[in-house]
Structure 1
Amino acid sequence: MRSMKTLLRLLGAVSLTTVAASSVVACGSKSPEIHVDVAKLLEWYDANGKSKINQKLNKNDTTGKENYSIIADDSLIKTAELFKTKLLIQGSAAGKFKAKNTEATKFLSDLGFNSGSDSKDYSIDDVTKITALIAKVTSSTPGKIEANGTTDFKVSDGTCQVDIMNKAGNDATVVKSYTIKTLKNDALNINASVITNLIVNKDGLKLTDSEGFKQGQPISNFKLKINSDKKQKQFDSLITLLNTNVNTKFFNAVTGGTEVTGNFPTTKVFLEIHFGNVILSSRIDCDVPNA
């Protein structure tokens, strides 16, 4: 009898373990990728099934959260009445609506709208709810980021998650979530529009003794630091995002000229900043280091 009780207790433990493991897998599952034909209907993909959703560099200016990230451009996703205009057409009469085709019918059914089809009008209530649907990007996974020559960075195609909400507003609920592909972007304009704005001129940098900028001291001791704590956080996040090294060089002329090595001289020097293979578009006039 004792052996039987022990066996039942062990079997119960195994059963509980199995249920718990299944729950973990379910919670960790990813959103399904949207069907390519539906993405074409919504005009998120082109006729060849290639994504039209671009990726762009985003700057967060929120205090304490200053950083850069690559996000999906949602301009094609947040179009007003997107699902009604792309998935429905006039039905049996003016003011009546049916699905544009069988793919639209399947997709609308997946969203919970089953009163109509591509051959049958949807109910007024369903049309109202379809019209109210909105989509929003909730997360982005960028592609690989690499230098684009010596002037910019590029990002290969990635993915993003789109949540289809039942309506706009803070009390909206998620109807369904999907993963969609994002387009590669060969022109993030990081050099021109971002780095140059972070470091406009010598006043944007800490050119002080403590940073190693001093006449007669080794140039190798120089540390690139930004005066603004906010910009420094954004700069650091950008370097982490780009996964690149920052190197500094000094020259004796604003263009061309000879690289200055060894110790800082008594003459004017110009700082050139390298982000991996990408070089800041213009050198910074640093005047003469402190004696």
Structure 2
Amino acid sequence: MGTQHYLVLDIGGSAVKYAIMTAQAEIITQGSYPSPTTTIDAFWQTFEANLLPLAQQYQVKGVAISAPGSVDCDSSIIYGHSALRYLHGPNFRQHIQHNYQLNCEIENDANCAALAELWRSDIQGDICLLVIGTGVGGSMVINRKVHHGHHLHGAEFGYMFVGVDDDNKPVTLSGCAATRSLIQNSAKILGLEEHQLNGKAVFELAESGNKDIQAVIDKWYQMLAYGVYNVQYCVDPEQIILGGAISTRPDFVEQIERKLDLIFAENPFSSVRPKLSVCEAGNDANLIGALYHYLQRQDLVTS
């Protein structure tokens, strides 16, 4: 028997990333194309135009998908909300099996990222993942299995309340510790529109000596540390992994550790300190995790 190949997709709000991969997560070829923005029919049309020829060329054995939203892995239906509204409702496995005669498995993107870390590392215990982006996404892996929760909202750490605003209204972790909130708060101080800034520009302003922006970033790290602390004491994982583009900053973990120093100094009764790390799988994490999920579901995991 020759090498088995799989078609793996990572559906995002702006682009669909794809790869032909082996069962050992070796990427044979990969690329991307813009995500259709209109209907599910348009999604399948672009799928057929871009990916069916590849699937046929490599005689793939199945399709593994990473997607936004509350994914029901058993039914292959996506619930909840995302930037691509047409994803929510259709049955992906049924469509792919019926139209292309291929097996299909689908999982939430943050869960895929967590599975990638689990697969590619020597972590044996339970882990939690926080993805810092437009919001704060999350995943929880217990006994090497994703914990989805009764309503498919397990590990939605971004919904946690971590404080109140000036009007005494509750603030979620996504509302104050996502990259978007960092940009929004900085833009407000600078008198700019949100679209005129990005995360890189915010940090460059701070590094050039802007005290106001430095204060915004300092508060942002503080709220992230509160979120990490809460996750540790709610789940008590062996490790908390941090992802998202901003997590690649060289001092990212160091800054959160400094805020944790203050938290533990002020709360001596707290004895369990989070063990933090940054995602190792990088930009391919969702693809790698989607493949691992597929292999798990199809009972093809060999290690």
State TM-score, norm by structure 1. 0.22
Bigger Cα Rg:
1
Structure holding more helix per residue? 2
State TM-score, norm by structure 2. 0.22
Structure showing greater relative contact order (alpha-carbon pairs closer than 8 Å, 6 or more residues apart): 2
